[in-house]
């Protein structure tokens, strides 16, 4: 996989630019990778709903669950779908609005210094094998594109927003990801 150092875009990803991003604060660089899980509607996979949410197009009338979230200004840098396809919403060098109120190692505002990757999934179902493979490939590409910046620190959304968030959830196999990264 290849990340263009100037644009911050992953060549292998379909690009769906999100308006829910901005520049990182001066001097802030990606130091942390945050793994998320998302499904829209909850527990359902496929469809355009994640793209629509991150790109400010989610129709609140399309599903009863959407009324409460349609106006949210959220995004992620990248989504890995169940089939392994990749969708990029925000260039990696920009700040995506994925973490919300968050803290890592005493530092608040994790969006300032992190990259957020969403896996299409939920707390109650295992993730697809291809998602782990793609996540490991993307992670290695990020380490190559931003040498020393990520510090190889990878956490779940639940780790930086405990009590508020549960993703990627108990079905995410952290040891499987580590084995792939070590290979």
Residue 118 is a catalytic residue: yes
HEC per residue, the chain: CCECCCCCCECCCEECCCCCEECCCCCCCCCEEEEEEECCCCCCCCCCHHHHHHCCCCCCCCCHHHCCCCCCCCCCCEEECCCCCEEECCCCCCEECCCCCCEECCEECHHHHEEEEEEECCCCCCCCHHHHHHHHHHHHHHHHHCCCCCCCCEEEHHHHCCCCCCCCCCCCCHHHHHHHHHC
The residue from 12, 23, 118, 120 that is catalytic is 118
Q: Which residues are catalytic?
A: 118
């Amino acid at each position: 996989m290849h990340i263009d150092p100037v644009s911050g875009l992953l060549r292998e990803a379909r690009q769906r630019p999100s308006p829910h991003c901005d520049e990182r604060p001066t001097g802030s660089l990606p130091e942390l990778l945050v793994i998320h899980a998302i499904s829209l509607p909850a527990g359902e996979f496929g469809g355009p709903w994640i793209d629509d949410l991150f790109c400010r197009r989610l129709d609140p009338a399309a599903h009863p669950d959407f009324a409460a979230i349609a106006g949210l200004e959220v995004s992620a840098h990248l989504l890995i779908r169940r089939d392994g396809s990749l969708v990029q919403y925000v260039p990696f060098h920009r700040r995506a609005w994925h973490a919300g109120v968050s803290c890592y190692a005493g530092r608040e505002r994790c969006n300032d210094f992190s990259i957020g990757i969403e896996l299409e999934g939920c707390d109650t179902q295992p993730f697809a094998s291809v998602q782990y493979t793609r996540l490991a490939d993307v992670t290695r590409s990020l380490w190559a594109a931003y040498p020393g910046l990520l510090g190889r620190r990878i956490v779940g959304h639940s780790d930086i927003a405990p009590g508020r968030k549960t993703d990627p959830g108990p079905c995410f196999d952290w040891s499987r990801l580590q084995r792939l990264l070590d290979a």
